[in-house]
């Protein structure tokens, strides 16, 4: 059984989110700003590689969340208390010309941007400095956006950081505020339309996985499996992988961020697949582990079913009001029991291990859940309890290098008031179902 929402081959490339979604996001943020406060957001830079080449552009997710615009050189000013109504919301875009149209493709026109975003006032990026200089004297405080993800890579200076430094230099007597706590709180709770896009990303991921189940066999290359996924994803309207895919056969599965995907699959090994699609900017995140030969050995199935029990246990306790740190402790305690049951160590050995080096960490060394949304490891306010409307992954794993195997399973869950909704409920996960599908 496949999802009834699964985009078909040849369907329109990608559905566009409604302007109302982004208008609602801006109104929600406006309501949290201090009186006489202005919020300013900048797009990401285009990152160079070598010679005259550059990385594919990835928009600032905060800016995309408020506008839906994925172009470089974009900026947004929100100033709910501006004296003139036309100054309360201004979008700035890179102006297109004949040269840009030929070499890169035309950029959004002002009218297209109004339709896409719901912002009525659209100006060219060249007007930004003059308009900001005129509005700043009206503002008491300024909210600026920076990357505050706990594991964010801050090794290089982003456009947002450069702008923050320049703005404070030019206007040193204003009060400056962090936008991240406000927008992270909004982004962490998803609307119905955001859930719809996430579900489509999950459904496209399902199609890719079902395709791979009929393709994998001994002698196939990990890279060939990756190619099967991307073929199916793009065919169904995704712009590609949500993140660098992990296609890890045998012992490679014990490398948590294995990405070379350049080895041949061997009969008798397991294949760990941590791969998912994006859709319209929102991401799925799936992991499955399947037998290369099409059938699990008894030992492999025992380990697999232990991980599957952990998925279901984690789902049962990842509920409103729990804090992720406490949730992780409960998962680790339960995983300890599973590892003892698998004979990897005894209860006595576990009790005798140093508190700072528990034996469970030898075989399960990563977190169980993270927020999911416009970022795969999505943002959230610090120290916030789980809330209905959030979307989390659940991804326990057991890694046994001495046995040449790693097993991880991962589904995406919408936190509900009374129960969680598994957005990947139709993606095969039972060992027997996987074997049956691979035998076709």
In this prediction, residue 52 has a pLDDT band, given cuts at 50, 70 and 90, of: confident
Looking at residues 149-162, what average pLDDT do you find? Answer: 82
Looking at 190-269, which runs of residues are DSSP E strands? 246-249
Residue 14: the pLDDT is 83
Question: Is 90 exceeded by the pLDDT of residue 153?
Answer: no
pLDDT in tens, 112-149: 999 999 999 999 999 999 999 999 999 999 999 998 88
For the chain, how many structural domains are there in total?
2
- Please provide the average confidence, as pLDDT, over all residues in the chain: 95
CATH number at residue 312: 3.90.230.10
Does one domain contain both 320 and 403? Answer: yes
Residue 150: the pLDDT is 79
The DSSP call for residue 404 is T
pLDDT in tens, 393-416: 999 999 999 999 999 999 999 999
Residue 4 lies in a domain: no
Residue 156: the pLDDT is 75
Looking at residues 179-184, what average pLDDT do you find? Answer: 97
Residue 333 lies in a domain: yes
CATH number at residue 135: 3.40.350.10
Does one domain contain both 156 and 225? Answer: no
Does one domain contain both 115 and 196? Answer: no
Residue 25 lies in a domain: no
Does one domain contain both 146 and 209? Answer: no
361: enclosing H helix or E strand: helix 360-363
Domain boundary residue among 187, 202, 234?
187
Residue 309: the pLDDT is 99
Residue 8: the pLDDT is 64
Does one domain contain both 234 and 370? Answer: yes
Residue 335 lies in a domain: yes
Residue 243 lies in a domain: yes
Does one domain contain both 169 and 296? Answer: no
Does one domain contain both 123 and 244? Answer: no
Does one domain contain both 75 and 194? Answer: no
Residue 209 lies in a domain: yes
pLDDT in tens, 368-394: 999 999 999 999 998 899 999 999 999
Inter-residue contact 252 to 289 (CB < 8 Å): no
Spatial separation of the C-alpha atoms in residues 204 and 216, rounded to whole Å:
19
Residue-range definition of the domain harbouring residue 400: 189-439
Inter-residue contact 429 to 308 (CB < 8 Å): yes
- Angle, alpha carbons 82-87-88 (nearest 5°): 65
Does one domain contain both 405 and 364? Answer: yes
Domain boundary residue among 187, 218, 252?
187
Does one domain contain both 252 and 383? Answer: yes
Closest-CA residue to 74 (of 163, 13, 142): 163
Domain boundary residue among 133, 166, 187?
187
Residue 47: the pLDDT is 87
Spatial separation of the C-alpha atoms in residues 94 and 109, rounded to whole Å:
9
Question: Is 80 exceeded by the pLDDT of residue 332?
Answer: yes
Does one domain contain both 241 and 256? Answer: yes
Q: Side by side, which strands form the sheet with 270-274?
A: 246-249, 270-274, 287-291
Does one domain contain both 193 and 180? Answer: no
pTM: 0.95
Question: Is 80 exceeded by the pLDDT of residue 215?
Answer: yes
């Amino acid at each position: 059984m496949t999802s009834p929402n699964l985009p078909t081959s040849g369907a329109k490339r990608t559905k566009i989110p409604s302007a109302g979604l982004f208008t609602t996001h801006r109104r929600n943020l406006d309501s949290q700003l201090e009186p006489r406060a202005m919020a300013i957001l900048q797009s990401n830079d285009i990152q160079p590689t070598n010679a005259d080449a550059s990385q594919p552009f990835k928009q600032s997710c905060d800016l995309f969340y408020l506008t839906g615009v994925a172009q470089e050189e974009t900026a947004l000013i929100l100033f709910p208390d501006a004296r003139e109504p036309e100054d309360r919301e201004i979008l700035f875009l890179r102006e297109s010309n004949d040269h840009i149209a030929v070499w890169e493709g035309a950029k959004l026109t002002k009218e297209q941007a109004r339709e896409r975003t719901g912002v009525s006032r659209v100006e060219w990026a060249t007007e930004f400095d003059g308009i900001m200089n005129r509005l700043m004297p009206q503002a008491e405080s300024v909210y600026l956006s920076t990357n505050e993800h706990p594991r964010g890579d801050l090794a290089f200076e982003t456009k947002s950081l450069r702008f923050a430094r320049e703005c404070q230099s030019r206007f040193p007597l204003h009060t400056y505020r962090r936008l991240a706590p406000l927008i992270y709180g909004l982004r962490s709770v998803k609307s119905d339309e955001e859930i719809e896009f996430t579900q489509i990303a999950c459904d496209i991921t399902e199609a890719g996985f079902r395709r791979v189940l009929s393709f994998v066999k001994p002698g196939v290359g990990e890279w060939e499996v990756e190619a099967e996924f991307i073929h199916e994803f793009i065919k169904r309207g995704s712009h590609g992988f949500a993140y660098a895919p992990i296609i890890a056969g045998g012992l490679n599965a014990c490398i948590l961020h294995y990405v070379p995907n350049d080895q041949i699959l061997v009969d008798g090994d397991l294949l760990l697949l941590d791969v998912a699609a994006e859709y319209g900017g929102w991401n799925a995140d799936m992991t499955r582990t399947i037998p290369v030969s099409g059938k699990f050995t008894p030992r492999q199935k025992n380990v697999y079913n232990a991980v599957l029990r952990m998925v279901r246990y984690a789902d049962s306790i990842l509920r409103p009001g729990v804090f992720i740190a406490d949730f992780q402790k409960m998962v680790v305690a339960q995983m300890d029991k599973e590892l003892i049951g698998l004979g990897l160590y005894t209860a006595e050995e576990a009790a005798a291990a140093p508190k700072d080096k528990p034996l469970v960490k030898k075989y399960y060394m990563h977190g169980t859940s993270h927020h999911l949304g416009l970022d795969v490891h999505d943002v959230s306010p610090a120290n916030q309890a789980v809330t209905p409307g959030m979307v989390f992954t659940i991804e326990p794993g057991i890694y046994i290098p001495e046995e040449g195997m790693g097993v991880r399973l991962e589904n995406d869950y919408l936190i509900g008031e009374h129960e969680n909704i598994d957005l990947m409920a139709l993606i095969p996960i039972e060992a027997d179902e996987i074997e049956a599908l691979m035998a076709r």
